[in-house]
Amino acid sequence: MNISIFGLGYVGCVGSVCFVELGHDVTGVDVSQTKVDLINAGRPTIIERDIEELTRKAHASGRLRATTDAREAVLATDISFIAVGTPSSDKGHLNLDYIYEVAAQIGRALRHKDTFHVIAIRSTVMPGTNQKVGEIIERESGKTVGKDFAVVSNPEFLREGTSVHDFMNPPLTLVGADNERAAALMLELYKDLPAEFILTDIRVAEIMKYVNNTFHALKIVFGNEVGAICKELGIDSHKVMDIFCRDRQLNISPYYFKPGFAYGGSCLPKDTRALRSLAADLYVDVPVISHIEASNERHKRRALYLIVEQGKRNVGILGLSFKAGTDDLRCSPIVEVVEALLGKGFAISIYDKNVEVSRLTGTNREFIMSKIPHLQHFVTDDLDKVMEASDVIVVTNREAEFADLPARYPGKIFVDLVRAWNELDYDGHYEGLAWSTINTNPAQEGAVEKEYRKSAF
């Protein structure tokens, strides 16, 4: 396949030689004559392990060349990668000027091309950039996105020092596309890489690099904070974190990584507070660990705000315990939300088949009685009774018996705190706590008559 890569810096240089290694013909494009001359002399533009040998090999094969002429490169290729820099501004925002300038250059070149062309954004960009690039190319080319050309998002996941190895042995290949023809071309382009090819929504692909890198930064900071605590205690932190990383059922796994409601129960709240207090006793400043609980509290407030925002007084709560299949109410996050709603005068009905007030004992009973002393007046094991009495249905646990409720009770407002459904065609309104709407029914867009005006709380 014939490829042009705009930007011969770190990402562009590595991509150029690796695509040649995969059997493609590559034309590099850069405004810097120096970089162009280096590539055309068989020399890389960066210092990186294995890059010199691969650049020499690619150049010698006749499949790698470079130019400053954008039009020449676009007309000679099927796919154009945008791999220019997106530096930070003083306030932390991205400067996307280089991206948009390249898009304009590609657009002007496409005026002179009759065949379908794919533009792949490789640079790290914010969600919405793909759409903006498409608009610029449409304006400059006079052509139609989706018909004459397509813009896909194809973020890179390369580490400096091992980028060649990372390119050739990726954990996955991610492409965000809304055009089948472009998606098929990208699949063909990457077919020889030993990794899963994931085709997803454009905006999902655009945000993934930020999610990945922020989590990597979080891991480093968390490890360092644990190390600081361990040092004060005379503990070998590397032994601690080595054991931590050996648990691949919970610690290093997909578990706990799905957006949902706040954490609760008898362990996580208690133990995060204990570690934070231990650090304080040792005079060790651990900002990340110290703010875990604050972030969890903020998430409870998001749930409360979302329920209040619906503008209805009759609210049904499906699930009171902190986890499905248990009657443990200790530090259950929904208990605090219910407490706040009752204080605001909402009419609350609660369904939880696992909770019998008369059978609660010990700290479990003490906790709930301190929060909702008259719980017996609100909780029932009659699901239909709660559904019929409520305008807003708040789903707090992922129970199998809730699966058909939207079909059985149209016209309600579902506030989903746990992603109880992956998709819905519901004749009513649906609100997810930490994800965009999954309801495809036109009723979702209709206005809801509210019983009161929204106010601050």
Please give the positions annotated as active site: 267
The C-alpha angle with vertex 195 and arms to 192 and 199, in degrees rounded to 5, equals 95
Using CA atoms, how far apart are residues 13 and 36, in angstroms rounded to an integer? 11
Q: Which two tokens stand for residue 304?
A: 């409360």
Q: Which residues contact 272 (CB under 8 A, 6 or more apart)?
A: 289, 292, 293
- Tell me the CB-side half-sphere exposure of residue 98, using CA atoms within 13 A: 20
The two beta strands, 347-351 and 392-395, are unpaired
Cβ-based burial of 234 (10 A; exposed 0-12, middle 13-18, buried ≥19)? exposed
Rounded-to-integer distance, Cα 169 and Cα 46, Å: 20
Kind and range of the H or E element at 175? Answer: strand 172-176
The total of other beta-carbon atoms located within 10 Å of residue 415's CB is: 23
Counted residue by residue, the chain has a size of 457
Find residue 18's DSSP bridge partners.
none
